Structure 1
Amino acid sequence: MSRSIVRQSKFRHVFGQAVKTEQGYDDIRVSKVTWDSSFCAVNPKFLAVIVESSGGGAFLVLPLSKMGRVDKNYPLVIGHSGPVLDIDWCPHDDNVLASCSEDCTAMVWQIPDHTLTRPLSDPIVVLEGHSKRVGIVSWHPTARNILLTAGSDNLIIIWNVGTGEPLLSMDDHPDLIYSISWNRNGSLFCTTCKDRRLRVCDPRKREVVAERLAPHEGIRPMRAIFTRDGNIFTTGFTRMSQRELGLWDPTNFEEPIALLELDTSNGVLLPYYDADANMVYLCGKGDSSVRYFEITEEPPYVHYLNTFSSKEPQRGMGFMPKRGVDVSKCEIARLYKLHDKKCEPITMTVPRKSDLFQDDLYPDTAGPEPAMEPEEWLDGRDEDPILVSMREGYVPPKSRELKVAKKNVLDSRPTTRRSMSTLETNTLPFPALFCFISSSCSLSLTYFSSLISFHLSFSLLPSLHLYSFPASAA
């Protein structure tokens, strides 16, 4: 009598559950822009959602505790002149958020701890360097103040938001960039592109170090994320438009570690990765379900765990960092599902009978402190995230102001030749010269012309003074 062998995993029975209605966020006009981003970003302090707005782009920022119906007049974060396409919370400061827009700019915002009383329209810094709309913003996982932006000009720019200056840029992509994901220590990032290539880039060398043509054979958009151990997890479409996922070793792109077909839906699958549990949550735009998988070192490498289903389709999804989950309830992940008019938190829980802290579920996780400064990263240093214990839960620190030390633009402006109007105060300026000449009727037209020509060359002779010429020169 044969006995089926069940794979042992502490995450095998993870289940999803929507919170009670009063614990959601209602009356939110979610953006209707046709762009494949999540439209939502969340951290242990705030929920941010890109919303519909007239006269430009805007997004809503709510303290997590402000549940229930959102006032129609609740202040928005405004400042972009075009629709906002992507937002991302800084991993090292829970009050700092980056946004990008169709207006070709990215902006960095300082969100106050207190509830907004009026619209927030003054960003800390405006990052201008793209010639077309900017569709992706992504913070560096371990270095302070490093932000990556990617635009429809196929350009990737990495900024130091502490100075507001671009550090480096890459233009290796010949077509629209669909997604970008940093690896764990921020030494590399992977991209997917409309040219159907998956690339691994070293930004400090400004080069593509590995690439794979058509990891998924379909022409629909792909997504890719780095896993904890350096592999790359991808989602895409087959040639027959079936959705599929893949796991790849970037040091050997010839064959996938795993390739799995899912279904025939049209929505692009957005992957969210939990590095501590090595789990991936797949949320398709327009789907009403969330699938989750565990990545292991044993075949088949990507193990399907379960599906959370609800009645309404999702417009987007936000994923809480591990330090924001409730350890007292064995919650290992929390997703924020966007509907047309509301946001609904979904908790992912491991069923345990004990009320004690579960060490095996909560290894030390990435904390809010950066591991290095931007100059150190630029010089070639790599550091893993600084970890914090989850044993006592996580309490977000108070707001720390992000200060931008911009260089004086006048210091870098090339020196121009001084004109007459900028000479010493005892030099007769041009308007006075003109009045003086026009009042001297004895001056001939020929002399007037020569005197004007002589005046225009005076920047080379600053020691001369116009009033030293005799009025009777004619």
Structure 2
Amino acid sequence: MSRRVVRQSKFRHIFGQPVKADQMYEDIRVSKVTWDSSFCAVNPKFLAIIVESSGGGAFMVLPLAKTGRVDKNHPMVSGHTAPVLDIDWCPHNDNVIASASDDTTVMVWQIPDYTPVRSITEPIVTLEGHSKRVGIITWHPSARNILLSAGSDNAIIIWNVGTGEALISLDELHTDLIYNICWNYDGSLITTTCKDKKVRVIDPRKNEIVAEKSGAHEGARPIKSIFLSDGKIFTTGFSKMSERQLALWDPEKCTPHEGMRPMRAIFTRDGNIFTTGFTRMSQRELGLWDPSNFDEPIALQEMDTSNGVLLPFYDPDSSIVYLCGKGDSSIRYFEITDEAPYVHYLNTFSSKEPQRGMGFMPKRGLDVSKCEIARFYKLHERKCEPIVMTVPRKSDLFQDDLYPDTPGLEPAIEAEEWFSGQNADPLLVSLRDGYVPAKNREFKVTKKNILDNKPPTGPRRSFSSCDSGFSRITLEDLMEEIKSLRAIVESQDKRISNLENQLHALSNGTA
């Protein structure tokens, strides 16, 4: 009688468990916008959720420890004039978050450690450059102050948030709506998916496509792609029959001919490669190859026929990918290895209620004393439910194999260094003694002063808003500030007048 061989893995018994009711976040009006983003972002200090709001767009920021029922008057972060579509915490400052909106702008906010009394309405910096709504934002994993945004204008802009400038604009590489973008481990490349069903690998500093795959998933629904730490690409999508799929790709792997006999290859004039070789059946064959195109996937699995887009979350420390479908009530997780079939199903966490969105805690925010390997923040219609993923271990000691050093708060390089061509992996920290969140660090934006520009030489010209150094927006901002200062002065004048009248009455003994 044959015995089934079970694959050995320390993550084979991971199990998910929701927290108790008093540790959830209740009475939250989660956004009803139909956009395929997670609507939730979390770090070791704060939980941010995009919410319904009147008169514009807003999101709510809660201290992680503030569980239970949320006050209906809890202050919001509300500066956008249209719905917020995406939010992302800065990986190098736990008090800084970026938001993207239907109003075509990206805003960066400083969140205080204390709970403010009033809503936060003034961002640190507003980034304007897109002509249509902005639905994707993501921070660079290792360079300070680098933020990427993508809009419905099919353009990608990479910003230096520290100066408020657009460093790079990629506006001709996509012909249709961009579905998602992900940096690779050191931030030298990005992978994108698009409505044209292509998965692209792009070098943003060279403004060129390094590799491209057409029809990675042939269905009409959106494709998502993420970079793994070894350079492979994991995608989720749909088949022609609307079955949900996952796939693993290696952009550098190509096997033109599968036979054992020698192959020959030459470059053609247009940069393609012409090859001769043999099939597995020893038949001679020839081929013409585009070296920038992916080969077939090294793994492809069909899952189910649900129409919810699968949101992939990746943990590079454990090589585990978690798949959370919008509208699903489950989280599936898979381990990625170098052994066939490469994508190994581990387990599924199921609950009764579907998820509107999902937040994924960075590794430094987990409780290592309880062997917590991941934590999700599941959005319901009116609440947020933390879900803890744990590896069962009997020992109370620190588990080195579960917690290798993980990316910390310190950036590896500066924005200028990255822009000049340097790359660096994220700087790692140990979780042996647990992670203590850093105190609030003020984020400063140093914009170039237009008054420092020397006036043009030559004949004097008449002053106009076009040939002065001032932009229209800057003048409007100055006028608005002057108006607000005048209002303050007038109110103080009235206060002084009232105090003088009281003093006069007291001195005359008539009070």
TM-score (norm 2): 0.81
CA distance in 2, matches of 1:4, 1:68: 47
SS of residue in 1 equivalent to 2:364: helix
1:418 CA drift (Å): 3.2
> Which residue pairs with 1:436 in the alignment?
none
Q: Which of the pair has more CA radius of gyration?
A: 1
Post-superposition CA distance 1:74-119 (Å, at most 9, x none) = 0000000000000000000000000000000000000001112110
Q: Secondary structure at the match of 1:190?
A: strand
1:104 is aligned to 104
* 2:40–2:47 CA contact under 8 A, matched in 1: yes
Shift of 1:384: 0.5
Question: Using the alignment, how far apart are the partners of 2:83 and 2:451 within structure 1?
Answer: 32
Residue from 310, 316, 324 that aligns with 1:283: 324
Partner residue of 1:325? 366
Q: What is the DSSP-based 3-state SS (H/G/I as helix, E as strand, rest coil) of the residue aligned with 2:103?
A: coil
Query: What is the aligned partner in structure 2 of residue 224 from structure 1?
Result: 225
The offset of 1:412, in angstroms, is 5.7
Distance apart, 1:419 and its partner CA: 3.0
Asked whether 1:254 is paired with 2:295, we answer yes
DSSP-derived class of the 2:389 partner: strand
Give the letter for the 2:462 counterpart.
Answer: S
Give structure 1 stretches of 5+ with no counterpart.
422-474
AA matched with 1:44: P
Higher deviation after alignment, 367-376 or 245-254: 245-254
Matched with 1:125 is 125
For the residue of structure 2 that corresponds to 1:106, the secondary structure is strand
Aligned to 1:342: 383
- Paired AA for residue 80 in structure 2: H
Alignment correspondent of 1:361: 402
How far, CA to CA, are the matches of 2:361 and 2:49 in structure 1? Answer: 14
- Contact persistence 2:251–2:295 (CA under 8 A): no
Superposition misfits of 4+ residues, deviation over 2 angstroms: 409-421
Query: In 2, distance between residues paired with 1:315 and 1:344?
Result: 11
Flag structure 2 segments of 5+ consecutive residues without an equivalent.
254-293, 465-511
Counterpart of 1:205, as a letter, is K
State the identity as a percent: 74
Report how far residue 2 of structure 1 moved.
2.0
State yes or no: 1:398 paired with 2:398.
no
- Deviation sequence 1:344-378 (CA, Å, 0-9, x none): 00000000011110011000001110000001101
Q: CA deviation at 1:71?
A: 0.3
1:205 alignment partner, SS class: coil
Root mean square deviation of aligned Cα: 1.4
Deviations 1:415-461 (A, max 9, x none): 5953399xxxxxxxxxxxxxxxxxxxxxxxxxxxxxxxxxxxxxxxx
Q: Kindly provide the amino acid, as one letter, of the partner of residue 97 in structure 2.
A: L
Structure 1 partner of 2:187:
186
Shift of 1:409: 3.2
Does 2:392 match 1:351?
yes
Aligned to 1:212: 213
TM-score, normalised by the number of residues in structure 1: 0.87
Decide whether aligned partners of structure 1 residues 73 and 420 sit closer, same or farther in structure 2, where only a CA change above 3 A counts.
closer
Alpha-carbon distance between aligned partners in 2 of 1:413 and 1:87, rounded to the nearest angstrom? 39
How big is each residue's C-alpha offset from its partner over 1:179-206, in whole Å with a ceiling of 9 and x where there is no partner?
0000000000000000110000001101
Q: Secondary structure at the match of 1:392?
A: coil
Q: 2:9 matched to which residue of 1?
A: 9
Report SS of the residue matched to 2:175: coil
Deviation at 1:283, TM superposition (A): 0.3
C-alpha distance in 2, partners of 1:75/1:9? 46
1:408 offset after TM fit, Å?
A: 1.7
Task: Tell me which residue corresponds to 2:168.
Answer: 168
- Report the Cα distance in structure 1 between the residues aligned to 2:423 and 2:148, rounded to whole angstroms: 17
CA distance in structure 1 between the partners assigned to 2:316 and 2:429 by the alignment: 14
